[in-house]
Amino acid sequence: MALYSEKVMDHFRNPRNVGVLEDANAIGEVGNAKCGDIMKMYLKIEDDVVQDVKFETFGCGSAIASSSMATELIKGKPLEEVKKLTNQAVTEALDGLPAHKLHCSVLAEEAIQKALEDYYSRQA
């Protein structure tokens, strides 16, 4: 069995939604000192819907694939649905990750949650 699924390899080789979103109104950045991965998520939220999303990730292939898949899972979705996104959902959408790489999907979830916190703090 291959270490990585075809979906992981596809999102690593052809990541979706990469870059900086200049008009983002929600930004979340997280990192894992142990592995060195850093993720930054940019969201453009209008009428409680994620209209656009981009990411910058410095890290391994699993981190890049997790970031890419996470953006695909939340783009165009209402915030109530985005709030419920879990690392398990990201992992399942990628057809699995090796156990020692599950922290990458956790980082993707945390980056989105940080962006939502940023969005709500800006609204206050």
Sheet holding 26-32, edge to edge: 26-32, 37-46, 49-58
How far apart CA 29 and CA 56 sit, in angstroms, is 9
How far apart CA 120 and CA 124 sit, in angstroms, is 6
How far apart CA 67 and CA 120 sit, in angstroms, is 22
Task: Indicate which residue of 104, 111, 112, 116 is catalytic.
Answer: 104
State yes or no: is 104 an active-site residue: yes
Structure tokens at 119: 């969005």
State yes or no: is 60 an active-site residue: no
Task: Indicate which residue of 18, 27, 35, 38 is catalytic.
Answer: 35
Active-site positions read 35, 104
